[in-house]
């Protein structure tokens, strides 16, 4: 027996990956509805060799739907999730709309699958940078509670949607073209005056990313909030505590956008309650279902290696030289897959496994 599934935001970066992943894992889909805005209505997308027409989301779009996978942004989730739930669907939401609500479980199946038991119709998928971090840290937490996390992220532009990918392509093309004109004088590259060209401000003007992203790093993801932390940084703080059921973990995050298409990387420093042996940590990570460990500490994963990968890649695991309860890791995840689409579909699989649907 299969399920009637709807994807809201099917045409977006995450929606496309959901479609791909459902097909890849042969999720039991009886019927599939693809929903987006008016702009995409009438377009066709392919699922298991069949062309399916994208529809504009409307009041009656969720009638008869069992599982609604949402990835169309927080304001759309706030509007359509209650309507979908009223129609009888379980909503698995990729946006930040409901993540911190008390009666909405925030779930990473490898970490807190049991929280699905108390859902009331809406289940939230955590932020991409939080998901890959907790998948990597939970096996260590189970050895000894983690008391402190200091994390710096290196996040791909696809985390900001399809338009941000285009922004990186356009800006890169533009700058490369200028450098090509100077290719015989590259030793003077420092002085190539592209920033002074009259049309440069137009091409390099911020769009989805608040600063030039080509050949740059931007320590600003989402809006600035309390204490001069960005919303992305606050998400990592609050979501980690909620998923791990531990308000005593101190989390300090710095989130940085980098000119990478797919794959978020994180440099993570942790302090545990008790001292651990590195061998214990390696063993726990090796056994963890969602982790692929690069055990040789001189090998490491990069975003190039993670595209299309279902596991979170962990490398460069080391101890702090001056603190016997502190360790550092390098963690890379496919932000569109485990960071969004895959985690959402895994939640649906867990609901089936736990007879919650
Ligand atoms: N990208 C990531 O790594 C990532 C990770 C975790 C969570 N998320 C979250 O997932 C959501 C989608 O992100 P994305 O990266 O896929 O964005 P995206 O590429 O910009 O796609 C947005 C999707 O939302 C649809 N949409 C926009 N306005 C709509 C409206 N008024 N009514 C119905 N549908 C509408 C778009 O449809 P049209 O084609 O018709 O415009 C498109 O399908 C966001 O909430 C984001 O925070 C993203």
Nearest residue to 102 (alpha-carbon basis) of 120, 126, 84, 81: 120
297: Cα within 13 Å, side-chain hemisphere:
11
Torsion of CA 5, 313, 238, 122, to 10 degrees: 10
pLDDT digits (tens, 9 = 90+) for 24-83: 999 999 999 999 999 999 999 999 999 999 999 999 999 999 999 999 999 999 999 999
Structure token pair of residue 65: 């739907």
Please tell me whether residue 251 adopts helix, strand or coil conformation.
Answer: strand
On whether both 261 and 174 belong to a single domain, the answer is: no
Q: Are 338 and 326 spatial neighbours (Cβ–Cβ below 8 Å)?
A: no
Same domain, 194 and 306: no
| Distance (Å, whole) CA 108 – CA 339 | 10
- Give the domain extent around 283: 130-159+217-335
Nearest CA to ligand 1 atom 32: 37
Query: In DSSP terms, which residues pair with 291 in a beta bridge?
Result: 312
**290, 317 Cβ separation under 8 angstroms:** no
Q: What is the strand order of the sheet 326-333 is part of?
A: 250-257, 146-155, 264-272, 326-333, 312-319, 291-293
Q: State whether 308 and 260 are in the same domain.
A: yes
What atom of ligand 1 comes closest to residue 97's alpha carbon?
A: 45
pLDDT exceeds cutoff 80 at 185: no
148 with 267, same domain: the answer is yes
Nearest CA to ligand 1 atom 48: 159
Q: Give me the CATH number covering residue 344.
A: 3.40.50.720
Same domain, 196 and 87: no
Distance, CA 13 to ligand 1 centroid (Å)?
7
Question: Could you read off the pLDDT of 250-264 as tens digits, one per residue?
Answer: 999 999 999 999 999
Pairing of strands 326-333, 312-319: antiparallel
Q: How far is ligand 1, taken at its centre, from the CA of residue 70, in Å?
A: 8
| Residue 146 exposed, middle or buried by CB count within 10 Å (0-12, 13-18, 19+) | buried
128 a catalytic residue: yes
Q: Do 232 and 138 belong together in one domain?
A: yes
Domain end point (choices 145, 174, 203) = 203
Q: Are 151 and 277 found together in one domain?
A: yes
Q: Does 76 reside within a domain? A: yes
| pTM over cut 0.85 | yes
Q: What is the total count of domains within the chain?
A: 3
Kindly state whether residue 66 falls inside one of the protein's structural domains. yes
Tell me whether residue 191 is in a domain: yes
- Centre of ligand 1 from the C-alpha of residue 9, in Å: 5
Question: Is there a single domain that holds both residue 231 and residue 310?
Answer: yes
CA of 71 to the centre of ligand 1 (A): 5
Across the chain, mean pLDDT equals 95
Listed in sequence order, the residues at least 6 apart from 272 whose beta carbon sits closer than 8 Å to its beta carbon are 140, 143, 144, 145, 146, 147, 325, 326, 327
277 in the same domain as 141: yes
Query: Would you say residue 209 lies in a domain?
Result: no
Residues whose CB is less than 8 angstroms from the CB of residue 352 and which lie 6 or more positions away in sequence, other chains included: 3, 28
Do 179 and 108 belong to one domain? no
83 and 230, same domain (yes or no) = no
**Are 275 and 230 part of one and the same domain?**
yes
* Pocket lining for ligand 1, CB < 6 angstroms: 9-15, 36-37, 39-40, 57, 71-74, 76, 94-95, 128, 158-159, 161-163, 335-336, 339-340
Give the Cα separation of 214 and 55 in Å (integer): 35
The answer as to whether 210 is a domain residue is: no
Q: What is the pLDDT of residues 298-345, one digit of tens each?
A: 899 999 999 999 999 999 999 999 999 999 999 999 999 999 999 999
Is position 208 within any domain?
Answer: no
């Amino acid at each position: 027996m299969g399920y009637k599934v709807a994807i809201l935001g099917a045409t977006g970066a995450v929606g496309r990956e959901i479609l791909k992943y459902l097909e890849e894992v042969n999720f039991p889909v009886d019927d599939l509805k693809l929903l987006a805005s008016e702009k995409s209505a009438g377009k066709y997308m392919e699922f298991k060799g069949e062309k399916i027409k994208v529809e504009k989301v409307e009041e009656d779009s969720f009638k008869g739907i069992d599982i609604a996978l949402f990835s169309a942004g927080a304001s759309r989730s706030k509007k359509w999730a209650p309507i979908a739930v009223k129609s009888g669907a379980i909503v698995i939401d990729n946006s930040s709309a409901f993540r911190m609500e008390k009666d909405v479980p925030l779930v990473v199946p490898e970490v807190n699958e049991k929280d699905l038991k108390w859902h009331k119709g809406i289940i939230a998928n955590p932020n991409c940078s939080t998901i890959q971090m907790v998948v990597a840290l939970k096996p260590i937490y189970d050895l000894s509670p983690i008391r402190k996390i200091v994390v710096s992220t290196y996040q791909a532009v696809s985390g900001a949607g399809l338009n941000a990918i285009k922004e990186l392509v356009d800006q890169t093309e533009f700058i490369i073209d200028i450098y090509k004109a100077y290719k015989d004088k590259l030793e003077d590259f420092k002085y190539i005056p592209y920033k002074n060209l009259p049309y440069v401000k137009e091409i390099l003007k911020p769009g989805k990313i608040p600063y030039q992203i080509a050949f740059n790093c931007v320590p600003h993801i989402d809006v600035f909030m309390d204490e001069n932390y960005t919303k992305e940084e606050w998400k990592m703080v609050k979501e980690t505590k909620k998923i791990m059921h531990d308000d005593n973990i101190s989390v300090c995050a710095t989130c940085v956008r980098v000119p990478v298409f797919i794959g978020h990387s994180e440099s993570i420093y942790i302090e545990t309650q008790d001292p651990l042996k590195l061998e214990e940590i390696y063993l726990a990570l090796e056994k963890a279902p969602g982790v692929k460990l690069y055990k040789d500490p001189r090998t490491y994963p990069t975003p190039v290696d993670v595209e299309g990968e279902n596991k979170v890649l962990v490398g460069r695991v080391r101890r702090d030289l001056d603190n016997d309860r502190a360790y550092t890791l390098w963690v890379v995840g496919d932000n569109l897959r485990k960071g969004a689409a895959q985690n959402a579909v895994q939640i649906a699989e867990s609901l089936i496994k736990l007879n919650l649907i």
